Structure 1
Amino acid sequence: MNLYRSARAVAGASGDSVIDWQSAAEGAKAATDPGSLDLEPGEREAYARDVREARAAVRAVSGAEFDVPDTVEIQNRHHWIDANVETFERVMGALETPTGAFPGAARTVNTGTMTVLLAFLGRNVLGQYDPLLLADTPSEDHALYFVRPNIHKAADALEVDVDRFRRWIAFHEVTHAAEFGAAPWLSEHLEERMQDGIADLSTGSFNKAAFKDLDAAMTVVEGYAELLMDHAFDDEYEDLRRKLDERRQGRSPLQRLFRRLLGLGLKERQYERGKNFFEHVVAVRDVETASRVWDRPENLPTQDELDSPGLWIQRMGR
C-alpha cells in the first residue's frame, strides 16, 4: 500500500471527463493491499465445485433455466478494482464534462472520491455476480467474481470455517445468475432506469421516479436471492448472517460513514424488505407464485406492493 502514490495519481487527474478513470483505478490500487492469491491444493476446484452445486440446487428450487457465467474468476483486490472501474465508467458515462471556472479542480475532487470508493469496496467485497450492465456489445458475457483475500479475512474475523463461508458466498451469487437467466429483460430494465437517473443528475435535476423504480427492482433482486438461498443452500446459515450483521454494527464510525455514503445501508434495507415480501408471498401461495416476478417487467411489485404483498398477490391473481 502506497498512500503517496495514490495521492499523486489523484492529483494527476486529467482528460475531458468528469472523472479520470485511469487515475482513479491507479490511486485505489496504490491505497489497497492486493492480498494473496496463493491457492492451496484443490482450492480452485473447490470454488468450481461450489458454483456447480449451487447451480444445480438453485435450478431445482426455482425451476429456472439458467447457466453460470463463462467468466468465473478468483481475484485479488486489485483484480476486482480493475474489473469494476469499467462498470462504474459505463454506468456514469452519461455525466457531463465539468464546467465552470475550475473544471480541472472538479475533476480532481471527483477522481479522488471515486478512488476512495473503489479502494473501500475493493477491501470489503466478498463475491460478485456482474451482469455487465451497459456493456459495449450485447455479446459480452456476464461474470462471477470471488475476492479470495477478502473471503479469507472475513472468515477469520467471523471465526467460521472458510470452506463453508466460501460455499455460502457462491450460493448467494449464483442466485443472482438465476434471476438474470430467468428474466432476459432484467438487464435492459435496470440499464434504462440507471441511464434516466444519471442523465438527469448530470443536468442538476433528480429523477425521483427512475430511482424509485430502480430501488424497487433491486429490492426484488435481493429479496428473491434470499428466498432461493433459504430453499437451496444445503446447510444452516443463520449464524453466518448473524455474525456478518454483528460485524457491520461493530465497524468504526469512519467505516459506518463510508457505508452510508456508498449506499450500503440501502442495500441491507433492500435485503430485508425484499425478504419480507417474498416470505409473505410464499406463506400465502408458493415459490412458483413468487417466481412470477420474472415473467415480464410489469410483474415487478411497486413500492406500495413491496410493503403490502397482498396487493401484488391480488394483482397476479387477475
Structure 2
Amino acid sequence: MNLYRSARAVAGASGDDMIDWQSAADAAKAVTEPGSLELEPGEREAFARDVREAREAIRTVSGVDFDVPDSIEIQNRHHWMDANIATFERVMGTLEEQVPAGAFPGVARTINTGTMTVLLAFLGRNVLGQYDPLLLANDPEETHALYFVRPNILGAAEKLEVDANRFRRWIAFHEVTHAAEFGAAPWLSDHLEERMEEGIAKLSDGSLDRASFQELDAAMTVVEGYAELLMDHAFDDEYADLRRKLDARRQGRGPLQKLFRRLLGLGLKERQYERGKHFFETVVENRDLETAALVWEGPENLPTQDELDAPTMWLQRVDR
C-alpha cells in the first residue's frame, strides 16, 4: 500500500473530463494490495467446473436456454479494477454530457477523481464475482465476461470460517444465475441502460424522473429476486449458513464501511434482493417456475412497483 503514490495520482488528475479515470485507477491500485493469483493445482479447472455445472443445473430447473462465456477470468483486485474502469467511465459519461463544467473544473476534477478512487478501492477489496452483461460494456460487440476475484473469495471464506471450495462454488452459481437472466432476456441490457440514462438526464436538468428510477428499481428487484429463486432450486448444497454469515458480516462493519455501502447503493441492492425473493416465492407457490420466467418475455411483463408487493396482481395480468 502506498498512500503517497495514491495521493500524487489524484493530485495529478488532468484532462477535460469530470474524472481522470486513469489517475483514479492508479490511485486505487496504489492503496489496494492486489492479492495472490498463485493457483493451487487443479484450481483453475475447479472454477471452470463450477461454472459448467451451475449452467447445467440452472438450465434444468429454469427451462431457460442460455450460455456462459467460453472462458472465465480469475482475477486479483487490480485486474478487477482495470476490467471495470471502462464500465464506470461509460456510466458517468452520460452525466458528463449533461452537466456543465463549472467555474473551477480543475478543482472539481481532482475532487471527483479522489472520490472515485475511494469507491473503486472499496469495491476492489469486496467484490467476489461478477457477471458483466452487455449493459455498460465498453464495446457492444464484446462477449460477456465472468469474473472471479480470487483473493476476495479466499479472504471472505476465511473470515466467515467456511470451506473455500464450497464458498467458491456458491459464488459461481450466483453469477451464472445472472447469465441465465440476461440470456433469457436479450432486451434487458438496453432496458436497464435506457432507464438509467433517462433518469440521469432529468437530474442534470434539475428535475427528478421518478418513473424512470422506479422502473429501474423494479427491474433490478426482479434481477436480484429471480437469481435467488434459481439459487434455491439449483444449488446442490445447503447455503443458508453462507447467506446468514454474510449478512452478519455486513451488519458488523464499521461506520465508514457502512457509509461506502450507502454511497454505492448496496443497501438498496439488499432491499431489492429481499423484495424480489418474496415476489418470486409467492409466484412459485401460486403457480410454478415456468410462470416465474414470464418476466423475461419482454419489458411489458416486468412487474410494476405495486405488483412487486402484490404478486397475485402480476399473475392476473400476465398468466392468461
- Whether TM exceeds 0.5 here: the answer is yes
CA offsets, 1:69-99, max 9 Å, x none?
1341000000001111110111111123652
Runs of 4+ in 1 over 6 A off after TM superposition: none
Could you say which residue in structure 1 is the equivalent of 2:285? 283
Distance 1:113 1:205 in 2: 24
| Alpha-carbon distance, 1:136 to partner | 4.9
Q: How does 1:96-245 map to 2 (within 5 A)?
A: 96=96, 98-245=100-247
Q: What one-letter code is carried by the residue in structure 1 that aligns with 2:20? A: D
Distance 1:311 1:128 in 2: 33
TM-score, length-normalised on structure 1? 0.97
| Alpha-carbon distance, 1:137 to partner | 4.1
Task: Work out the percentage of aligned pairs sharing the same amino acid.
Answer: 80
TM-score, length-normalised on structure 2? 0.97
Q: Is the 8 A contact 2:86 2:138 kept in 1?
A: no
Distance 2:205 2:138 in 1: 24
Distance 1:62 1:253 in 2: 40
CA offsets, 1:154-194, max 9 Å, x none?
00000000000000000000000000000111111111111
Q: What 5-or-longer segments of structure 2 have no aligned partner?
A: none
Distance 1:19 1:124 in 2: 23
Distance 1:40 1:130 in 2: 26
Aligned to 2:72, what secondary structure does the other structure show? Answer: strand
Provide closer, same or farther for how the CA distance between residues 5 and 143 of structure 1 changes in structure 2, counting only shifts above 3 A.
same
Q: Is the 8 A contact 1:18 1:98 kept in 2?
A: no
Q: What 5-or-longer segments of structure 1 have no aligned partner?
A: none
Aligned-residue Cα RMSD (Å) equals 1.2
CA offsets, 1:11-69, max 9 Å, x none?
11111111111111111111111001010000000000000000000000111110001
Q: Is the 8 A contact 2:157 2:167 kept in 1?
A: yes
| Alpha-carbon distance, 1:206 to partner | 2.7
Distance 1:40 1:83 in 2: 24
Distance 1:138 1:149 in 2: 29
Aligned length: 318
Provide closer, same or farther for how the CA distance between residues 135 and 220 of structure 1 changes in structure 2, counting only shifts above 3 A.
same
Distance 1:62 1:317 in 2: 17
Could you say which residue in structure 2 is the equivalent of 1:317? 319
| Alpha-carbon distance, 1:303 to partner | 0.5
Provide closer, same or farther for how the CA distance between residues 256 and 136 of structure 1 changes in structure 2, counting only shifts above 3 A.
closer
Q: Is the 8 A contact 1:92 1:198 kept in 2?
A: no
